[in-house]
Amino acid sequence: MKTVPLGTTGRQVPNVVLGLMRIAQMDDDAVRTLVRTARDAGIDFVDHADVYGEELHGCERRFAEAMQLTSSQREELTIQSKAGIVPDGPYFDYSYDHLVSSVEGSLEALGTDYLDVLLLHRPDALVEPDEVARAFDHLESSGKVRAFGVSNHTPGQIELLKKSVRQPLVANQVQLSITHAPLVAQGVAANMAGLDQSAVRDGGGLLDYCRLHDITVQAWSPFQAGFFTGVFLGSEEYPELNAVIDRLAAKYDVPAIAIATAWITRHPAGMQVVLGTTTPERVAGAAQGSDVPLTRAEWYELFRAAGYTVP
Ligand SMILES: NC(=O)c1ccc[n+]([C@@H]2O[C@H](COP(=O)([O-])OP(=O)(O)OC[C@H]3O[C@@H](n4cnc5c(N)ncnc54)[C@H](OP(=O)(O)O)[C@@H]3O)[C@@H](O)[C@H]2O)c1
């Protein structure tokens, strides 16, 4: 498993991560098998959020109850969670009270004393950076959170937070797959009149901003065609893309899912792919995409086959 730097923490982390948003209904054995398969493949980084599951902290609790981690097993893992979404609404809340109580709920559900990484889940239009800073200072000084980051944030929103927040923001988790790639597609077609792909949808240069500031980009929904619309792998809606994926899978002797993973890991930004599958074989297959050396021609062929324009 290839590793990448986690922001400016000095830590190396795997470039494929196990997302646990969909484990609410899995029994103990199934959760253990999923996590064991990931660990065997070199994935020692799990992604949670307070809102995953049918009730608050549901997936965090399911994970902890199934795994029953000893303290040394817990220390071997990087556990990341998120706060800031209030599902009963929904709305967003980056207030001191909400962030601190959300983290305390995560720690209780996970049965651990600390989160390795806390991400602010989705930008709160009513954000007050001083309050976020106060929450981060408390969470850091009390040992409850070791590193901080964001998710779905634009460069401007990150700059605003940085006005008050002292801690480095080490990650930005954003939606990215071959078929949902405005992060990279806009840049290659900037300033092209009349081309939808040229429209700025990421707040302006999100990917370049993260690279410039050593913020690790984490790609969520790496196999979804759109916003939870189903996967493009094997989909009749993407015959050309699947033909290219299958040809490259045969060339590199890996499953198709590894090629879809490699399209993200091949990018020189050093991104992490956040898997959401609950199927162990798919986790093992995706992990094989950690270090597939797609050529530039192959990477762009996948991009074009997904429907993007290379002007
Ligand atoms: N920060 C954010 O705003 C945000 C938003 C959404 C998600 N996330 C994180 O990102 C992770 C991944 O998101 P995701 O679950 O939407 O991404 P995904 O890995 O692209 O999609 C996984 C889903 O697709 C299904 N699937 C069907 N055919 C598949 C195939 N051939 N290969 C792989 N999966 C297939 C899986 O079913 P099976 O389980 O049956 O395999 C699962 O339901 C989540 O677990 C969460 O940690 C973050």
- Cα 266 to Cα 291: distance, rounded to the nearest angstrom: 7
Residue 5 — φ and ψ, nearest 5°?
Answer: -70, 140
Tell me the CA–centroid distance for residue 79 and ligand 1, in Å.
18
* Best CA proximity match to 204, nearest among 229, 220, 218, 186: 186
Q: Is the pLDDT of residue 136 over 90?
A: yes
Q: Is the pLDDT of residue 72 over 90?
A: yes
- Cα 35 to Cα 45: distance, rounded to the nearest angstrom: 10
Instruction: Answer whether residue 2 is part of any domain.
Output: no
Q: Quick one: pLDDT band at residue 238, thresholds 50, 70, 90?
A: very high
Residue 15 belongs to domain with CATH number: 3.20.20.100
Q: Give the number of other CB atoms < 10 A from CB of residue 269.
A: 17
pLDDT (tens digit per residue) in 164-196? 999 999 999 999 999 999 999 999 999 999 999
The angle formed by the CA atoms of residues 99, 104 and 105, to the nearest 5 degrees, is 95
* Best CA proximity match to 120, nearest among 93, 146, 91: 93
> What is the predicted pLDDT for the residue at 177?
98
**What percent of the chain shows pLDDT beyond 90?**
97
Instruction: Answer whether residue 5 is part of any domain.
Output: no
Tell me, using a 6 A CB cutoff, whether residue 282 lines ligand 1: yes
Residue nearest to atom 21 of ligand 1 (CA): 276
Q: What residues make up the domain containing 102?
A: 11-305
Provide the domain count of the chain.
Answer: 1
Tokens of 142: 């009390």
Residue nearest to atom 29 of ligand 1 (CA): 231
Atom nearest to 20 CA in ligand 1: 45
- Cα 120 to Cα 226: distance, rounded to the nearest angstrom: 22
The angle formed by the CA atoms of residues 73, 75 and 81, to the nearest 5 degrees, is 105
> What is the predicted pLDDT for the residue at 202?
87
By CB neighbour count within 10 A (0-12 exposed, 13-18 middle, 19+ buried), where does 163 fall?
Answer: exposed
Atom nearest to 234 CA in ligand 1: 31
Mean pLDDT, rounded, for 55-79:
98
pLDDT (tens digit per residue) in 17-51? 999 999 999 999 999 999 999 999 999 999 999 99
Instruction: Answer whether residue 3 is part of any domain.
Output: no
- Residue 259, classed as helix, strand or coil, is helix
Tell me the CA–centroid distance for residue 97 and ligand 1, in Å.
30
- Cα 243 to Cα 255: distance, rounded to the nearest angstrom: 13
**What percent of the chain shows pLDDT beyond 70?**
100
Q: Which residue has the tokens 């209780």?
A: 108
What amino acid is encoded at 153 in this protein? Answer: H
Tell me the CA–centroid distance for residue 191 and ligand 1, in Å.
33
Q: For the chain, what is the total number of helices (H) and then of strands (E)?
A: 12, 12
- Tell me the angle at which helices 296-305 and 239-252 cross, rounded to the nearest 10 degrees: 150
What amino acid is encoded at 40 in this protein? Answer: D
> What is the predicted pLDDT for the residue at 203?
85
Tell me, using a 6 A CB cutoff, whether residue 274 lines ligand 1: yes
Tokens of 283: 């986790």
H-run or E-run covering 4: strand 3-5
Instruction: Answer whether residue 1 is part of any domain.
Output: no
Residue 39 — φ and ψ, nearest 5°?
Answer: -60, -40
pLDDT (tens digit per residue) in 268-289? 999 999 999 999 999 999 999 9
Counting ligand 1 atoms within 8 A of each CB, the residue from 17, 22, 273 with the most, and so the one to mutate, is 22
> DSSP letter string over 100-126?
HHHHHHHHHHHT-S-EEEEEE-S--TT
Contact of 157 with 203, CB cutoff 8 Å: yes
Atom nearest to 48 CA in ligand 1: 47
Instruction: Answer whether residue 4 is part of any domain.
Output: no
Instruction: Answer whether residue 210 is part of any domain.
Output: yes
Counting ligand 1 atoms within 8 A of each CB, the residue from 79, 220, 254, 259 with the most, and so the one to mutate, is 220
Instruction: Answer whether residue 6 is part of any domain.
Output: no
Tell me, using a 6 A CB cutoff, whether residue 235 lines ligand 1: no
